[in-house]
Amino acid sequence: DQQVKQNSPSLSVQEGRISILNCDYTNSMFDYFLWYKKYPAEGPTFLISISSIKDKNEDGRFTVFLNKSAKHLSLHIVPSQPGDSAVYFCAASGYTNAGKSTFGDGTTLTVKP
Amino acid sequence: NAGVTQTPKFRVLKTGQSMTLLCAQDMNHEYMYWYRQDPGMGLRLIHYSVGEGTTAKGEVPDGYNVSRLKKQNFLLGLESAAPSQTSVYFCASSPTSGTPPGELFFGEGSRLTVL
């Protein structure tokens, strides 16, 4: 029973356009959500997070939206750049220990010049 | 600016052999974790530690043991390696959890192949 799902294994967008990566979760106890970015042969790096008391968090070109009633979150990248090409992992956890996160399987984003 | 360092980066084992992966962090973080990542899958938590001398089981702990004798080090051991343990292993650390929750700082990964 996968508690965090990223249903799109891959996404391809044109440079300058918007990239939207989606994530669904089933455990209503999750109240903190994070996105990580991973390049080949490197460890994941933290990108952006959101707590369940918010519905939006923005950091530069990256915005995460949370819809608690639908148990759905999305990561928007605007504008997309070739350097954004990577695997993006959605993760969810309880608020008190965000390190004990449950990860989705990842979405490979390719931004074409 | 080392952050989280894992050794070795690559290792090939035969079934039944033992080995230890070492993780070291220089950020004075209290919490440390071992995750594994299999092809096409997300990261799954093996074991974690909330401080020196403490360890706890994660989602997939079977076949692994850990130790946290020093705050900066977290060791992952395989006593009798099996082909199912072929994976990429990531160590991570985070500041003390609480308010606000800490993000994870990952090492570069250790690729283990068990023949």
Cα dihedral sign for B51, B90, A30, B101? positive
Residue B95 pLDDT: 82
Which one of B4, B42, B105 has the shortest CB-CB distance to A104?
Answer: B42
Indicate whether B97 pLDDT > 80.
no
Alpha-carbon gap: A25 to the closest alpha carbon of chain B (Å): 14
Residue matched to tokens 């460890």: A43
Buried-exposed string B40-66: b where 16+ CB fall within 10 A, e elsewhere? eebbbbbbbbbeeeebeebeebeebeb
pLDDT in tens, A49-69: 999 999 999 999 999 999 999
Identify the bridge partners of residue B112 per DSSP, sorted by sequence position.
B11, B87
Give chain A's domain count: 1
pLDDT in tens, B38-84: 988 889 999 999 899 999 999 999 999 999 999 999 999 999 999 99
Phi-psi map region of A7: left, alpha, beta (phi>0 left; psi -120 to 50 alpha): alpha
Strand, helix or coil for residue B51: coil
* CATH code for the structural domain at B4-114: 2.60.40.10
Chain A, chain B: beta-carbon pairs less than 8 Å apart: 75
The pLDDT of B89-96, averaged and rounded, is 90
> Which CATH number fits the domain that encloses residue A40?
2.60.40.10
Domain that holds residue A13: 4-96+105-112
Would you list the domain boundaries of chain B? 4-114
Report residue A100's pLDDT band, with 50, 70 and 90 as the boundaries. confident
- φ, ψ of residue A13 to 5 degrees: the values are -135, 160
Identify the bridge partners of residue A110 per DSSP, sorted by sequence position.
A12
Residues 9-38 of B with CB under 8 A from A: 31, 33, 35
